[in-house]
Amino acid sequence: MPRRTNPFQQLSSSIMAVFYEPEYEVVESVLVCNENTGAVRELDILITHRQDASKKILVECRDHKRKQNVQWIDELEGKAQRLNFSKVIAVSSSGFTKPTIAEASERGIETLHLREAEELDWRKWKFGLETFGLNVNFEPVVTKVDFIAHPSFIGRLPLDVKLDRVFIFDCRKKIKFRLKDWITGFQKDPKVKAQLAERDENDAVNHYEYKIPCDPGIGFGVEPGGQFIPLAEVILSVDSPRAEYSVPLKHFDVGGEKIHLGEAVVLGRNTKLVLHETKMQLKVMIEQRVEPTDTRDIDH
């Protein structure tokens, strides 16, 4: 059967990511196999240390109306022992009874009450933000290069050549450089970025043809041993993405931690903003989700 998820689990996963990334990898709705029995189990959230796979954290989520009791802690402890987890986190939308919190603490299980903060509360936070301005201005990307040569050379232009074999020559200055390096410099050139930014439309991948006339003595060749071909013009096909938004935020208290959450469609993809507020800084994470496709049979 397919792996299952729900909005509360997705919210919890995003919050775990802002707490643990980049030292740990956070993955939602994961299938794991018990090496002793062969049974496949589904985990709500798996957090694994990127350098030491033995450091793994189990996160289980419940979006129930009633406070969670000791029975759930019993279940989590057994699941963690069977699957060799070093830490367990229980996340509840309704909180936990006092005996449950005490029992979980004694067993080394962390309990988190994830609740949406009241307006009177979050406005007193250090970063009491209603909206967050998101500006996504990527470097321009050259997707295609066309060389325009003298008509007498048109039939002799090389085809399907790798960029690292193509060199640009300046006969007057007696220099040559890789086409690949020249393209990299073009993409990072502040003047090019400024010119394209003036023309870019918002929330789009903008497509341009950038024409560069060549002075006499400028040409290219393919090494090793390629013929020098003088150039009249170079035409670059350029993609320039731009997205600017004002994203409304919701506010969550997660066991005393302050979280701001916003969602928007960025360049055609559903995107989530997660902001973790501490005493010293505001950590911002931008998340675009990848849906799981595994459909093996599982036990719950």
CA–centroid distance for 157 within its chain = 41
Domain identity same for 148 and 226: yes
Strand locations in 166-289 (E)? 166-170, 175-178, 204-213, 218-222, 229-248, 250-254, 257-266, 269-277, 282-287
Determine the pLDDT at residue 159.
Answer: 62
Q: Residue 226: phi, psi to the nearest 5?
A: -75, 155
| 195 and 157 part of one domain | yes
- 82, 154: one domain: no
Q: Is residue 300 part of a domain?
A: no
Please give the tally of structural domains in the chain: 2
171 in the same domain as 94: no
Rounded CA separation 46/272 (Å): 19
Residues 155, 105 within the same domain: no
Query: Consecutive sets of 10 residues in the chain, 300 residues long: mean pLDDT of each?
Result: 74 95 93 81 94 94 95 94 92 96 95 94 92 85 88 66 84 90 92 86 87 91 83 92 90 95 87 91 85 47
The answer to the question of residue 130 being in a domain is no
CA distance 73 to 238: 56
Same domain assignment for residues 41 and 109? yes
Beta bridge partners of 136: 243
The predicted structure's pLDDT at residue 70: 96
Contact between 49 and 57 under an 8 Å Cβ cutoff? The reply is no
Helix (H) or strand (E) holding 11, with range, is helix 7-20
Residue 110 sits in the same domain as residue 154: no
Distance between CA atoms of residues 19 and 10, nearest Å:
14
